């Protein structure tokens, strides 16, 4: 398992993973053009996990100088329950801490709560609002 920074050649593999996990609802924020913008953003941390040369997981988030937040975590279904999601979260948290982040939060769907709680995150009373 290799965790590394996102590269543009990873785009198709990430789109496949997001689609398999029903996380590709908005190409404007999850598609290849969006990935290029995230890669260019100095506040963003965008990582992938490779197994035997294949991208099998992704995590991305940003740190604005005050708050760090993980916006997306996704692991290919055939590679879930192997520690990949945990490894990706540990690495992005490490990177945020190196940038000076005092805390790290994550946007999470209800079904994902057990995973996040298992790795040490706790549920807060914050609601995500959208304007589409």
The whole-chain average pLDDT of the chain stands at 93
Q: What is the pLDDT of residue 131?
A: 64
Mean pLDDT calculated for residue range 41-54: 96
Mean pLDDT calculated for residue range 34-53: 96
Mean pLDDT calculated for residue range 117-126: 87
Q: DSSP readout, the chain?
A: -EEEE--GGGHHHHHHHHHHTT--S-HHHHSHHHHHHHHH-TTEEEEEEEETTEEEEEEEEEE-SS-EEEEEEEE-GGGTTSSHHHHHHHHHHHHHHHHT-S-EEE---GGGHHHHHHTT----S-------
Residue 17 has pLDDT above 70, yes or no: yes
Mean pLDDT calculated for residue range 93-120: 92
For a pLDDT cut of 70, what percent of the chain falls above it? 95
Mean pLDDT calculated for residue range 88-114: 93
Of 3.40.630.30, 3.40.50.300, 3.40.640.10, 3.40.50.720, the CATH number of 2-118 is 3.40.630.30
Q: Which residue has the higher pLDDT, 19 or 112?
A: 19
Q: Which residue has the higher pLDDT, 126 or 14?
A: 14
With bands split at pLDDT 50, 70 and 90, how would you rate the model's confidence at 47? very high
Q: What is the pLDDT of residue 132?
A: 60
């Amino acid at each position: 398992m290799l965790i590394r920074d996102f590269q543009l050649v990873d785009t198709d593999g990430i789109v496949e993973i997001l689609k398999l996990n029903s996380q590709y609802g908005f190409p404007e924020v999850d598609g290849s053009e969006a990935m290029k913008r995230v890669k260019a953003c100095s506040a963003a941390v965008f990582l992938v996990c490779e197994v035997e040369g294949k991208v099998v997981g992704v995590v991305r988030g940003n740190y604005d100088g005050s708050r760090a937040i993980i916006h997306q975590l996704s692991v290919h279904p055939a590679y879930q329950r192997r520690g990949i999601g945990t490894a990706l979260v540990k690495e992005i948290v490490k990177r945020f801490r190196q940038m000076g982040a005092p805390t790290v939060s994550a946007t999470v769907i209800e079904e994902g709560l057990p995973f996040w709680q298992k790795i040490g995150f706790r549920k807060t009373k914050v609601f995500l609002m959208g304007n589409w």
